[in-house]
Amino acid sequence: MARKPADQSVNRDEIIAAAADVLQRKGYDAATMKDIAAAVNLTAASLYHHFKNKDALFLAVLEAGLTFVLDQLEPIAACDLRPDDKLRRMIACHIVGVTNNRAVGAAMVFEIRALMTLPIGINESGELDGEILAARDAFFAQRDRFEALFRQVVGEGIDQGLFRPIDAAIYVKLLLGAQNWVGVWFKPDGRLGGDEIAASMADMLISGISI
């Protein structure tokens, strides 16, 4: 991503793509504005024409990654398939997202702590920064929505007697952990591709609660 040979002016999305890559490789603290700028042939100063500050850029990446997956998950959760089939597809969708899209990986795997720990949305004057706070809240809302989708489908499965009456909340945490973790160990040139891993894991994960 962010191939952009140069010259042409750079747009928001290219920066987000580049930032996602840097972010997943280095993490929030180690990823510098200069790193990200270099990835799109800009100087760090120029990034501030596109994003208010590092937090804003950071949140834009997470939002992009989460939206990317969510946009695929929503229709699946809403469709007419059986809950176990829906869940299978959702799991695969998530895992493939993590392996194939840097922004998804960044949004899912690494930066949760940073988001919760960092004094994001508090500017240097100590005042709360409305825009950024709003973006952060929107991100958290999306995350909740994300998790809720899984819980909902699992709930449907339990209700329809397809799944055992397990603790859906815990099960979803388990799911997400296993799926997000793929972003930690997945190597593009490894033995298995993202879709194979997804299929394999979906099987094990769903068998675990199927009747």
Partner DNA sequence: CATGAATGAGAGTTCATTCAT
Partner DNA sequence: GATGAATGAACTCTCATTCAT
Binding to a copy of itself by residue 56, rule CB under 8 A? no
- Closer of 122 and 138 to a copy of itself (Cβ): 122
128 makes contact, choosing from DNA, a copy of itself, none, with CB < 5 to 8 Å by partner type, with a copy of itself
Binding to a copy of itself by residue 122, rule CB under 8 A? yes
DSSP code of residue 120: T
Binding to a copy of itself by residue 207, rule CB under 8 A? yes
Distance CA 44, CA 87 (A): 42
The DSSP-derived string for 166-192 is --HHHHHHHHHHHHHHHHHH--TTSSS
- Closer of 56 and 197 to DNA (Cβ): 56
C-alpha distances in angstroms, 198 versus 88, 104, 204?
A: 9, 15, 10
Q: Pick the closest to residue 143 from 108, 179, 103, 98 (CA basis).
A: 108
Per CB under 7 A, residues contacting DNA are 1-6, 9-11, 31-34, 37, 41-46, 48-50, 52-55, 124
Distance CA 172, CA 43 (A): 42
Q: Is 81 exposed, middle or buried (0-12, 13-18, 19+ CB in 10 A)?
A: middle
Q: Is 38 exposed, middle or buried (0-12, 13-18, 19+ CB in 10 A)?
A: middle
99 makes contact, choosing from DNA, a copy of itself, none, with CB < 5 to 8 Å by partner type, with none
Single out the residue of 125, 187, 188, 189 in contact with a copy of itself (rule: CB under 8 A).
Answer: 125
Minimum gap (Å) between residue 152 Cβ and DNA: 37
Single out the residue of 34, 52, 151, 173 in contact with a copy of itself (rule: CB under 8 A).
Answer: 173
Q: Looking at 11-19, 34-42, 66-74, 109-117, which segment touches a copy of itself (CB under 8 A)?
A: 109-117
Binding to a copy of itself by residue 119, rule CB under 8 A? yes
Q: At what angle do helices 130-159 and 168-185 cross, to 10 degrees?
A: 120
Distance CA 209, CA 211 (A): 6
Binding to a copy of itself by residue 144, rule CB under 8 A? no
Binding to a copy of itself by residue 161, rule CB under 8 A? no
Q: Looking at 12-20, 35-43, 55-63, 112-120, which segment touches a copy of itself (CB under 8 A)?
A: 112-120
Binding to a copy of itself by residue 115, rule CB under 8 A? no
